[in-house]
Amino acid sequence: MKSRIAGTGSYTPSRVMTNTELERMVATSDEWIRERTGIRERHIAASGEACSDLAVQAGKRALAAAGLAASDLDLILVATCTGDYPLPATACLVQHQLGATKAAACDLSAACCGFVYALSVADAYVRTGMRHVLVIGSEVMSAITDWSDRNTCILFGDGAGAAVVSASDGEQGILSTHLRSDGSLCELITVPAGGSRTPLSEQVIAERTHFIKMKGNETFKVAVRTLEEIARETLAANHLQVEDLDLYVPHQANMRILKAVMERLGLPIEKVMLNLEHYGNTSAASIPIALDEAVRAGRVQDGSLVLLGAFGAGLTWASALIRW
C-alpha cells in the first residue's frame, strides 16, 4: 500500500502588503528588498483572522479537489508555529470547523519544514491502514513579526496550503520522505521568549524578544548546503538523477538561496516552482501553497516526478519525492 496526494488546496488573506508600504514603516526600499530576497509583496491576515481560519479554507479546497467529504477523513495534521492558542491544538479547531467528525487531529511543529514533516507522518499512517489524511501547513507569521525590524519584517507573509493524502494500490504516490534536524543550530532562527523558558512579561515585550529573530548570513549558508544535500540523498535513495525531475518545489524563503541551490543541483529555472515574489516566506504554508499553484497551473501531470525540499528553524530540513 502506498500513499498519494489526491488533492491540493491553498488560501491566502485578501490584504496584500507591498514593499512600498514597508518603505513607510522601516528604513528600506522596494529595490533593496527585491535585490536581497526576490519578494515584491506578501499577504497579511486581517484582525481576528487566525491560523485555523486560513487552514480551514485551504482544507476545504483540498477536499474538493480530492472529491472527498470531511467525514471521510481519518486524521488531520496541521503544521504550524503560529497556532491559534498554546492549547488546544489548532488541528482540533480545524476538525470541528470542517465537520470531520471521524478524524483524529493534532499539530506538528517543525517551522518551515512543517508541511514536509507532516506529509511524512501522513504517509506512514496511510501505509499502515488509514485511508485519508488531511495535511495542512498554515501560518500567521505576521503575529510573530517585529514590524520595526527591517531584517525580518520584509521576509514573512501569511497563508495556508493543504493536501489530502490517500491510500493507493498503484505505482504513483509518495516514493520516499527524508527528515533531518540539528538542534545545535537552534539560535539561527528563533522566537526567544513567550514560551516556558522565558515566559511573556513586561520586560519581554519591552525588549521585543517575543518576535522572530534570525541570523541571516549563517542561515543562508546552512540552507543552501542542506537543501542540496537532501535533494541528492533523496534522488539517490530512489536510484534517480536530477535530470529525471519534472518539478522541484522548494521552501520559498529567499531567491538568493533558491538560485544558489538551483545552480548547485544544475536545475534549470523552468523545472522549479517559484512564487516567492507574491507571498514572501509563509513558513509551513510555503510548499503546499506553491504545490497547489503548480497543480492548478498544469505544471504537474500524471506521472510527473516532483521533489519537495524544505529547511527551517530547529534547524530542520526535509524532502519528499512524489510520482504524481
Catalytic residue annotation: 112, 251, 281
Who's near 114: CB < 8 A, 6+ residues apart?
Answer: 79, 80, 81, 108, 137, 283, 284, 312
Listed in sequence order, the residues at least 6 apart from 21 whose beta carbon sits closer than 8 Å to its beta carbon are none
Cα separation of 254 and 311, whole Å? 12
